[in-house]
Chains A and B, each alone.
Chain A
Amino acid sequence: MIGESLQRVEDPVLLRGQGRFAADVTLPGQLHMRVVRSPVAHGRIRSIDTSAARALPGVAAVWTHDDIADLPPIAFRLTPIESMLPYRQPVLARGRVRYVGEPVAVVFAESEYLAEDAAELVDVEVEALPATVDPTGEPTPWLDAEEVAWTAVEAADGAGRDNESATIHLEYGDPDAAFAAAAHVFDVDVRVGRHSGVPMECRGGSAHVDAATGVLMVNGAAKVPFWNRDAIAQMVGRSPHEVQLIEGHVGGGFGPRGELYPEDVLVPLATIRLGRPVRWVEDRQEHLTTCNHSRDQRHRLRAAVDETGLITALDGEFWADQGAYVRTHGATVAGLTASMLPGPYLLPSYRITGHVRMSNKTPAGTYRSPGRYEGTFARERLIDAIANGLGLDRIELRRRNFIPADAMPYRRPILAMGTELVYDSGDYALLMDRMEETFDLPTLREEVAARREAGELVGIGYGWFVEKSGLGPSEGARVMVDTGGSALVTTGASSVGQGVDTVLSQVVGEVLDLDLDRIRTVRGQTEHFNYGRGAFATRQSVMVGNAVLESALAVRAKALRVAAHHLEIDEADLELVRGRVQVVGTPGTGLGLGEIAALLEPHRAKAIGEEPGLTCDGWFHSDHMTYPYGVHVAVVQIDRGTGKPTLERFLVGYDVGKALNHLLVEGQITGGAAQGIGGALYEEFRYAEDGQPQATTFMDYLMPTMAEMPEFGVLVTEDAPSPLNPLGVKGAGEGGTTATAAAIASAVDDALSRPGSVTQTPIRPDLIRQLISEPGHEQSPNQKEH
């Protein structure tokens, strides 16, 4: 059953429109929250007049910062760097606004429509200040001393802070010596535009205090309900057990959704203080200006290369545009950029410095393949520059620099997300061979070359990458078989729509030989399990999958043991087939799992010296991440007149160690690629000089539709199982995205016969038009050799 392309257990409910998404929960007597947001990018709040809003019949309350001044800023969930503490966001703006969309006040009213009416009556006067929209120059003043003291008492030193909230530095080997001895040096200066996950479901949630138990119930949780429960409990002054987070259906995650935002604290706080259920659902304009942005990094990289094309050192700097505040992700994106930049290459020496810079834009966080999408674009631009500069085939140069299979596991002497960076397994050259063969790349190259020869602007491009997945440290699971012989699987996993219920059920189905319709999964419910790190970092299949395997194996062992005792047969003569423990090879004998569960009723279990119930907990712990890897190949055709790029084909080769469900893995890869393609060609949160966002609706923020999709080819391989977990799995969630921009940029270069011409994303038609109209260069300024 593991590995089979089974249809998902999640689907029937969703297909009938019976899901329970955040906005689908209606509580009797609920108030509707509407947020009043800053219309300017940077300024001092002079006054907030709420009197007209308060006077509107049906308005229960209007809050500004003064009403919640006791709330601390939201804590960091990941990568908590001390220097970043003062840059955290107040739940409602405190004296100063720093981005368009920042919550300034909240209105609570009897209906959603009324709440919007009232919000429009709140009069916010802001004295505008100059906005920072490009923070890649010299650092500029950002926080004054008083602001530092408020957001981070322990870090207060009477000084203000500039807009570099954190500086990341990683280094190994001897880069200076490598550059001194280099036969060639190449460099690039490239930017990845600002875009983000933008799930189809906007954020939202509701809360009420259960009158019978006093428990604070919070609906609409996603991704990290356990961490959010603890954080909300702390902020509203309750013990975690008095707060229950409920994950329903989640309309896409991709990184931004599910993090703890100011609104997620205001809803439960209001339900406590106002004594009424409260619901909040954001609209799309709010989402595009307030939910975490991502990407937006500039990279300057240089490589030292020897006579044979071997890269002896990679050195560089990058600037990440964090936006106005540092939210729950801390320095995660910059940290991952630095750790994962070396990719699949040996790189004997490495040095990188990352600057996390503040600007007057919507705060940024992680988005599918965070740090790798950006870093892979920059690194692969550099690799192409080296290949073209040396007159080597782009794939050949990569092959010469691959970490060889016999060097696995390969340890790079740096950390990634607090773990030692050890590539657990991989055969990069083999995957490239299999791609050449599966998709007949030699013929494809010939066809592209022939079309270009005939006058078309068409090119092929490549992006190689290493992903990471399965971040620990721990996950648990409980498998319980009831007296009806059906299994209940309870975990701390979360689903953002990726099909986790199905794959966890497949693991249990495999071990207990049960059909999927005999298995039910419970996840994302803080009341039913005590621990769960969440659905991020492509970790659910690796961590929770293996925990479920542990517990299912323990249940099977217990079932065999109890049956053997009851039947007075040697355990070795029994087997578990179709949910029944039977005498080996003799169907109809023995006991069903339900009957064994009945034998384990507490009083009877005590009599035979067993713990009650056919139930076992299993835990999986891991100190190291797993490292899946892959290659993207793009074929792009360009319209000479308009500069419009058409992505004709997109091929992905990805080794996931072991696929639990091929259909779902391919779905993850294709969906991830579509998002990466969006960022490479269409999507961008652009800002005017005064910090006004230019993409605040789906008319301006251009997500790809079916019409923009290429012909896809996906090759999922299982050549390098992870030695770090019993299933051998590596995560499949992000590898569809990672090298999309890199491969497409490489293809556009090739189409234009202008190596190194693409230096930024999204690769808009106007940029391509500009390149077409410029006189051709043998070498563009961006890939010159020194």
Chain B
Amino acid sequence: MNQVPLRLYVNGERHDVTVEPRKTLADVLREDCGLTGTHLGCEHGVCGACTILADGQPIRACLMFAVQAEGMSLRTVEGLAPDDEELHPVQRAFWKHHGLQCGFCTPGFLMLAAGTLEEDPDRSDEELVDILSSNLCRCTGYQNILTATKAAAAEMRE
């Protein structure tokens, strides 16, 4: 299969990779960029474990080919925290409110919540439930994910 050169910008860093045109963005992030925090739970766009931000918008990395992401500013869970010491408000809230158990769906929920709240931290509870219902979690029963997201929203509004 032919390979094409590709330049991706992820978490502010440039990645020059050579990939098959058919390779998904999620696979390229994981294998060619070494960013395994983006998880694959279904590979058909339902579970949202692979949610990342592309130009600030939450997207499913399994539903895009990497070549389609050329020129976009991508952000993955590895780029969420400002540094090794501090966490993003969404990460902090998930930790405090036990918004994760196995942690597999967590990167997708974090990126979904972060993208949503960075765009508009004034979402109503109903809107948040609606938005967060686009991802699946099998451990938590979602209550603490909602609580954590609301807490992060309150902090980000300040």
12 new A-B contacts, CB < 8 A, other than A202-B40, A663-B98, are: A8-B98, A12-B95, A15-B95, A18-B78, A26-B31, A113-B20, A200-B102, A200-B104, A284-B43, A674-B142, A675-B141, A698-B42
B95–A667 touching, CB < 8 Å: no
B106–A15 touching, CB < 8 Å: yes
Which stretch of B53-61, B66-74, B116-124, B143-151 is in the interface? B143-151
B95–A200 touching, CB < 8 Å: no
Contact pattern, B 119-154, Cβ under 8 Å of A = 1, otherwise 0: 000000000011011111111111111100000000
The 8 closest A-B pairs by CB, nearest first: A17-B37, A497-B102, A251-B104, A14-B103, A674-B141, A17-B77, A698-B46, A670-B141
**Contacting residue for A284 out of B42, B132, B134, B140, CB 8 A:** B42
Question: In the complex where A18-B37, A670-B141, A699-B44 touch, is A249 in contact with B133 (Cβ < 8 A)?
Answer: no
A497–B103 touching, CB < 8 Å: yes
| Contacting residues, chain B, for A254 (C-beta < 8 A) | 138
Interface positions, chain B 43-92, Cβ under 8 Å from A, are: 43-44, 46-47, 49, 76-78, 80-81, 87, 91
**Contacting residue for B143 out of A113, A200, A672, A709, CB 8 A:** A709
B141–A15 touching, CB < 8 Å: no
Question: In the complex where A667-B101, A697-B46 touch, is A705 in contact with B41 (Cβ < 8 A)?
Answer: no
B interface with A by C-beta (< 8 Å): 1, 20, 22-23, 27, 30-31, 35-44, 46-47, 49, 76-78, 80-81, 87, 91, 94-96, 98, 100-107, 110, 129-130, 132-146
**Contacting residue for B101 out of A23, A114, A671, A697, CB 8 A:** A671
A498 to B31, CA, bound (A): 28
Contact pattern, A 165-191, Cβ under 8 Å of B = 1, otherwise 0: 000000000000000000000000000
A17–B36 touching, CB < 8 Å: yes
Number of interface residues of A (CB under 8 A): 55
Interface centre among A15, A201, A250, A705 (most CB of B within 10 A): A15
Interface positions, chain A 1-17, Cβ under 8 Å from B, are: 7-8, 10-12, 14-17
A199–B138 touching, CB < 8 Å: yes
A670–B78 touching, CB < 8 Å: no
**Nearest residue in B to A711 (C-beta to C-beta)?**
B143
B37–chain A nearest beta-carbon distance, Å: 2
B136–A499 touching, CB < 8 Å: no
**Nearest residue in A to B37 (C-beta to C-beta)?**
A17
A706–B103 touching, CB < 8 Å: no
A633 to B99, CA, bound (A): 24
What are 6 sample pairs from A and B whose C-beta atoms fall under 8 A apart? Answer: A15-B106, A17-B38, A21-B104, A670-B141, A674-B141, A709-B142
Interface positions, chain A 303-359, Cβ under 8 Å from B, are: none
A141–chain B nearest beta-carbon distance, Å: 38
| Contacting residues, chain B, for A572 (C-beta < 8 A) | none
B25–chain A nearest beta-carbon distance, Å: 14
- With an 8 A cutoff between CB atoms, is A492 at the interface? no
A307–chain B nearest beta-carbon distance, Å: 43
B143–A705 touching, CB < 8 Å: no
| Contacting residues, chain B, for A17 (C-beta < 8 A) | 35-38, 76-78, 80, 107
Interface positions, chain A 449-506, Cβ under 8 Å from B, are: 496-499
- With an 8 A cutoff between CB atoms, is A636 at the interface? no
A672 to B78, CA, bound (A): 29
- With an 8 A cutoff between CB atoms, is A233 at the interface? no
A662–chain B nearest beta-carbon distance, Å: 10
A709 to B107, CA, bound (A): 21
| Contacting residues, chain B, for A498 (C-beta < 8 A) | 101-102
- With an 8 A cutoff between CB atoms, is A224 at the interface? no
B142–A705 touching, CB < 8 Å: yes
A54 to B44, CA, bound (A): 29
A644–chain B nearest beta-carbon distance, Å: 16
B22–A252 touching, CB < 8 Å: no
Interface centre among B22, B30, B39 (most CB of A within 10 A): B39
Interface positions, chain A 63-85, Cβ under 8 Å from B, are: none
**Nearest residue in A to B88 (C-beta to C-beta)?**
A15
- With an 8 A cutoff between CB atoms, is A612 at the interface? no
Question: In the complex where A14-B103, A200-B102 touch, is A675 in contact with B95 (Cβ < 8 A)?
Answer: no
- With an 8 A cutoff between CB atoms, is A707 at the interface? yes
B12–chain A nearest beta-carbon distance, Å: 16
Interface centre among A17, A671, A736 (most CB of B within 10 A): A17
A252–B47 touching, CB < 8 Å: no
**Contacting residue for A250 out of B36, B96, B102, B133, CB 8 A:** B102
| Contacting residues, chain A, for B95 (C-beta < 8 A) | 7-8, 11-12, 15
**Contacting residue for B47 out of A12, A197, A200, CB 8 A:** A200
A402 to B51, CA, bound (A): 49
Contact pattern, A 5-39, Cβ under 8 Å of B = 1, otherwise 0: 00110111011111101011010000000000000
A18 to B91, CA, bound (A): 13
| Contacting residues, chain B, for A113 (C-beta < 8 A) | 1, 20, 22-23
A494–chain B nearest beta-carbon distance, Å: 12
| Contacting residues, chain B, for A766 (C-beta < 8 A) | none
A24–chain B nearest beta-carbon distance, Å: 4
A11 to B94, CA, bound (A): 9
Question: In the complex where A26-B31, A498-B101, A667-B101 touch, is A15 in contact with B91 (Cβ < 8 A)?
Answer: yes
A237–chain B nearest beta-carbon distance, Å: 33
A707 to B134, CA, bound (A): 9
- With an 8 A cutoff between CB atoms, is A785 at the interface? no
- With an 8 A cutoff between CB atoms, is A283 at the interface? yes
A703–B136 touching, CB < 8 Å: yes
B92–chain A nearest beta-carbon distance, Å: 8
B115–chain A nearest beta-carbon distance, Å: 15
- With an 8 A cutoff between CB atoms, is A673 at the interface? yes
| Contacting residues, chain A, for B40 (C-beta < 8 A) | 23, 202
A113 to B106, CA, bound (A): 26
A564 to B78, CA, bound (A): 49
A671–B42 touching, CB < 8 Å: no
- With an 8 A cutoff between CB atoms, is A631 at the interface? no
| Contacting residues, chain B, for A699 (C-beta < 8 A) | 44, 46
Interface centre among B76, B138, B145 (most CB of A within 10 A): B138
B36–A24 touching, CB < 8 Å: yes
B37–A16 touching, CB < 8 Å: yes
| Contacting residues, chain B, for A253 (C-beta < 8 A) | 102
| Contacting residues, chain A, for B130 (C-beta < 8 A) | 707
Question: In the complex where A671-B139, A698-B42, A709-B141 touch, is A11 in contact with B103 (Cβ < 8 A)?
Answer: yes
A46 to B138, CA, bound (A): 40
A706–B20 touching, CB < 8 Å: no
**Contacting residue for B44 out of A24, A673, A698, CB 8 A:** A698
- With an 8 A cutoff between CB atoms, is A664 at the interface? yes
B104–A199 touching, CB < 8 Å: yes
B44–A200 touching, CB < 8 Å: no
Contact pattern, A 630-666, Cβ under 8 Å of B = 1, otherwise 0: 0000000000000000000000000000000001100
A703 to B41, CA, bound (A): 13
- With an 8 A cutoff between CB atoms, is A41 at the interface? no
A283 to B130, CA, bound (A): 27
| Contacting residues, chain A, for B39 (C-beta < 8 A) | 21, 23, 200-201, 251
A113 to B31, CA, bound (A): 12
B46–A496 touching, CB < 8 Å: no
B81–A16 touching, CB < 8 Å: yes
B131–chain A nearest beta-carbon distance, Å: 9
A355–chain B nearest beta-carbon distance, Å: 31
A432 to B133, CA, bound (A): 33
| Contacting residues, chain B, for A24 (C-beta < 8 A) | 30, 36
**Nearest residue in B to A664 (C-beta to C-beta)?**
B98
| Contacting residues, chain A, for B91 (C-beta < 8 A) | 15-16
| Contacting residues, chain A, for B42 (C-beta < 8 A) | 284, 697-698
| Contacting residues, chain B, for A10 (C-beta < 8 A) | 103
A14–B46 touching, CB < 8 Å: no
| Contacting residues, chain A, for B100 (C-beta < 8 A) | 11, 14-15
B46–chain A nearest beta-carbon distance, Å: 4
B102–A707 touching, CB < 8 Å: no
A253–chain B nearest beta-carbon distance, Å: 8
A252–B140 touching, CB < 8 Å: no
B28–chain A nearest beta-carbon distance, Å: 12
